[in-house]
Structure 1
Amino acid sequence: MQSLPFLSITQVFHNLQKRKVGRYFTRPCSVEEVQKLEDNLGLRLPAAYRELLLWIGNGGFVFEGQYFRHYLIKGNRAMAIKLMQVLGLSESLPEDAIVFLHDQLDEYFYYICASEGDDPPVHEFYAVGGECKHVKNYSKKLEEYMLRRLRSFL
């Protein structure tokens, strides 16, 4: 296994893409698709998230079985708001929250905020088995979160 602290997201995806076998294959967004997403959201996406979309924005091995793809982002946000309302929570998502991932059972989601820099912290929300938790700064940086997810694939 390679030592991840010295690898950037770009290096990790280069290593995985070289393999091009089964679940390791990535499906990137085009620059045009990323621009269209920014236009639709009315937000400038953080640089780390833009890079992630350019590697795997149309799905791939890391997010199989989860809602991640770029064209699902608006729906992900709507799902997150609905889940918080159903649970009767008084808190809401920040206006610039980008819900980049949620599971098929709508039990958890992860989001970043466009205003929190080019490599923003990842925030987690989950409601499983009667427990509801909102963890701000679940990961200090999006790149750190992704490297942790990718660790098992190297």
Structure 2
Amino acid sequence: MKQEDIKILLMRKKLINTPLVGCTEEEIIKLEDKVGFKLPGMYKEFLFAVGHESGRLFQGTVVNYINLIEVQGWAKELLEENNNPITLPNTSFVFSMHQGYEIRFFDVNMGENPPVFLWYEGMENPASAIKLFDTFEEFLLQEIEDHSSVSWRD
């Protein structure tokens, strides 16, 4: 799925309440330099499409470019507060933090469209993350579908 497809899908699902704003190539290169590895292609398509502003998609969840470096630290703090039940590999990238207790991440060594994992405070088995989806694209499509089924009031 390309950035144009993401934008079209968000429009069709009526998830746009503000203009969609994507990242530039320079911003993504800067992010990759800061985290120390290349990001997967599918995730970069997401950033190109809506990295700064994604409309109603992910409301209440930190996913925007401006917070991505901080999110890496916040995730480590969350795990430390919970006595480090899991250790994220050095090649993990936390792309989402929800309400300060839930992280979603992928391992950049798992391909251009990597599986998405979830860990949250209060899990039944906190010693292992849950594999949510086999690919980032599947995750994104499901999130778009889930958000489009919510009744929105402007």
TM bracket (short chain): 0.7 to 0.9
- Per the alignment, residue 40 of structure 2 pairs with 46
SS at match of 2:28: helix
**Which of 98, 102, 105 does residue 108 from structure 1 map onto?**
102
User: What CA deviation, in whole Å up to 9, does each residue of 1:84-129 have, x standing for no partner?
Assistant: 111113531110111100013x11010011111000000100114x
Which residue pairs with 1:120 in the alignment?
A: 114
Residue of structure 2 in register with 1:55 after alignment: 49
Kindly, what percent of the aligned residue pairs are identical? 23
How does the TM-score come out when normalised to structure 1?
0.81
Decide which of 26, 35, 43 is 2:29's aligned counterpart: 35
Structure (1 or 2) with the greater helix fraction: 1
Verify the 8 A CA contact 1:59 1:68 in the aligned structure 2.
Answer: no
Task: Confirm or deny: 8 A CA contact 1:77 1:99 kept in the other structure.
Answer: yes
| CA RMSD of superposed structures (Å) | 2.4
Cα distance in 2 for residues equivalent to 1:147 and 1:132 = 27
**Which of 72, 91, 106 does residue 77 from structure 1 map onto?**
72
Segments of structure 1 that go 5 or more residues without pairing to the other structure are 1-7
Q: CA deviation at 1:23?
A: 2.4
Contact preservation (8 Å) 2:13, 2:144: no
Q: What is the distance in 1 between the residues matched to 2:85 and 2:59?
A: 32
2 CA distance for matches of 1:108 and 1:98?
14
Deviation per residue, 1:19-63 (Å, 9 max, x gap): 988527422111111111111111111000100100111032212
For residue 68 of structure 1, the aligned residue among 53, 63, 82 is: 63
Whether the 8 Å contact between 1:16 and 1:25 is mirrored in structure 2 is no
Instruction: Sort the Cα spacing of 1:137 and 1:116 in 2 relative to 1 into closer, same or farther, 3 A.
Output: same
- Of Structure 1 and Structure 2, the greater strand share is in 1
- Count, aligned residues: 145
Rounded Cα–Cα distance in structure 1 between residues aligned with 2:48 and 2:37: 17
Indicate how the Cα distance of structure 1 residues 87 and 107 shifts in structure 2: closer, same or farther if over 3 A, else same. Answer: same
Q: In the alignment, is the contact (CA less than 8 A) between 1:111 and 1:124 conserved in 2?
A: yes
Could you tell me whether the CA contact under 8 Å between 1:37 and 1:71 is conserved in 2? no
Residue 15 to residue 138, structure 1, CA distance change in 2 (3 Å): closer
